[in-house]
Amino acid sequence: MKATILGPLWIACIAWPAFGQTPEAQPAFEAADVHVSAKTGNQFPRTGPVRGGRYEIKTATMLDLIRIAYGFDPDKILEGPNWLELDRFDIRAKVPPNSTPETQRLMLQALLRDRFQLAVHKDTRPVPTFALMVGKKPQLREAGGTGEGGCRPQAGSGSPRGGGGQLTMNGNPIVLGPGMTIEYRCRNVTMAEFVRALRGMIGVSLGANGSTVVDETGLTGKWDFDLRYSLPFVGPVLPNSGERIPLPEAVEKQLGLKLEQRPIPTPVLIVDKVNRKPAENPPGTAEALPPVPLPTEFEVATVKPSDPASRGGSFQMQPGGRLVAKGIPLSFLINRAFNTNNNDAFAGIPAFASADRYDITATVPSGDSAAGPMDMETVAPMLLALLKDRFKLAYHTEQRLVAAYSLVAVKPKMKKANPESRIFCRNILSPLGAPPGSRAMECQNITMAQFAERLQNVTPDLQSPVSDATGLEGGWDFTLTFSFRLPVMIPAARSGEAGPADAIPEASDPAEGYSIFEAVEKQLGLKLEKQKRPMPVIVIDHLEQKPTED
């Protein structure tokens, strides 16, 4: 088919199978346990494939549950009570044999209606959306029509080029160019296919709550082109040097297209009502869903030192219960074994644990197919058993004074929130002109206690607990832009404290972006004050550098 350019055209079509079914006809789980999630350090939704007839979702907000059940992007689920993105729930359910993902979605819809009294309806509303449009002169080549279609990152070879970096995707190294650029090669793709691929490209974030972009190019046919842009983040293995190419600029200059954000009439889901507290589990639920014993150790594991010539590292839990780690230091594995990101929670870790790197391949016992999602809470006990067995890890726990922070008010610059508005703190696109490596967070109707809790682990230099000492009541609206790069350690004597041991992280150059500490003070009028608090600390008594033989 010959590729042609037509006038802008946008047609929205969506299927609504669930709305055409009566509650009696809609399939339902055979049994379901619903309860409020326990507080953990991993407050994000976790799902997995059905195994052993078990369907499971962990730490999901009501917005997440509605998104999963109805297949809508989060920013297209509107209205409803203000806690939709705040409270979190766990769901364990029993499904009939051979149920399909679509049937499971219908079952989840029925559960939300039954246990939370959820009521929704469809509508069309203008939603801020990125539209891909034709620029002054499209620079695309008509595809020859042969070969496999799609957009794929180019792996490159050798070491990072010209001050770039390297990352690992699905176990394969991807070499980055100057300015942390990554290159995608698109072949034999329609514009609709490119838009779908664009949403999932590494480092791409379009839209207020995810990756929302629609095709308004009017281009028909299939096309060949390459796209090279800079990743929006930097870090210890991703140095920042060279000219950076923002994605919108790359799309415009390299493809002759443009990304423009504007309200577009879009199918949305309106939340009419939903209860905050789920109905009690029906009698017999515990008997129908007995606890599944979780594995305590891997069935098979190989451990060996990494190739000294290798660069970067990866840590992946693959489908089917297979852990693959490459180029990972023991200190990282210890953190994962105790399911924490707080380095201050440990003491006595030897220096080689951060310097030496290891490759690990391990599989979960095949008899544990009925376990829920293979998240880090499930993997942690097995990884801890592996470290005890292969590295002779020994430890004990004791109370010690460790680093912590209090959030205090100096000259608050935040806006008082509408108490009826949606409560959230979410990552958004950094504003135009923000320094490379910047990240941005938009918070709405958030209390200072909720914000303090959210701050822990927001950057690598703030892993310690944060408590609210602002004295500010109610909810607040604000946006925070900060650098995600690892900080330069500045002696705390500069700020009136004593001793290099109490060093606090600050950005060495404002052109490189504000550290989270500076951003909180300069942009919000608050301050993170460092202090010591008694907390449980894991003390490493013994750890061997060389693992035992496989």
- pLDDT tens profile 242-286: 567 888 889 999 999 999 888 888 899 999 999 999 999 999 999
Q: Is 393 helix (H, G, I), strand (E, B) or coil?
A: coil
195 and 135 in a common domain: yes
CB of 218 closer than 8 Å to CB of 9? yes
Q: What mean pLDDT do residues 26-44 have?
A: 87
Residue 105 lies in a domain: yes
Neighbours of 403 (CB within 10 A): 17
User: Model confidence over 197-254: pLDDT tens digits?
Assistant: 888 788 776 654 444 788 999 999 999 999 998 876 544 334 445 567 888 889 999 9
434 and 384 in a common domain: no
Q: Report the sign of the C-alpha dihedral through residues 235, 239, 241, 243, in that order.
A: negative
Please report the pLDDT score of residue 18 as a whole number.
47
User: Model confidence over 520-548: pLDDT tens digits?
Assistant: 999 999 999 999 989 899 999 999 999 99
Q: How would residue 157 be classed by pLDDT, with cut points 50, 70 and 90?
A: very low
Among 337, 360, 391, the domain-final residue is: 391
Residue 8 lies in a domain: no
User: Model confidence over 87-121: pLDDT tens digits?
Assistant: 999 999 999 888 999 999 999 999 999 999 999 99
Residue 167 lies in a domain: yes
Q: Residue 505 pLDDT > 50, yes or no?
A: no
Lowest mean pLDDT among 77-91, 228-242, 309-323, 487-501: 487-501
Residue 475 lies in a domain: yes
419 and 383 in a common domain: no
Q: Residue 160 pLDDT > 80, yes or no?
A: no
440 and 502 in a common domain: yes
pTM: 0.75
Please report the pLDDT score of residue 28 as a whole number.
93
Please report the pLDDT score of residue 494 as a whole number.
30
Residue 25 lies in a domain: yes
Average pLDDT, the chain: 82
Lowest mean pLDDT among 183-192, 248-257, 317-326, 482-491: 482-491
Residue % of the chain over a pLDDT of 70: 80
Please report the pLDDT score of residue 291 as a whole number.
83
CB of 149 closer than 8 Å to CB of 116? no
247 and 137 in a common domain: yes
Q: Which amino acid is at 39?
A: K
442 and 328 in a common domain: no
Cα separation, 94 vs 55, in Å, equals 6
Please report the pLDDT score of residue 75 as a whole number.
85
406 and 366 in a common domain: no
Residue 6 lies in a domain: no
Structure token digits, residue 64: 């997440």
The total domain count for the chain is 4
Please report the pLDDT score of residue 129 as a whole number.
83
532 and 413 in a common domain: yes
The domain of 437 spans 402-537
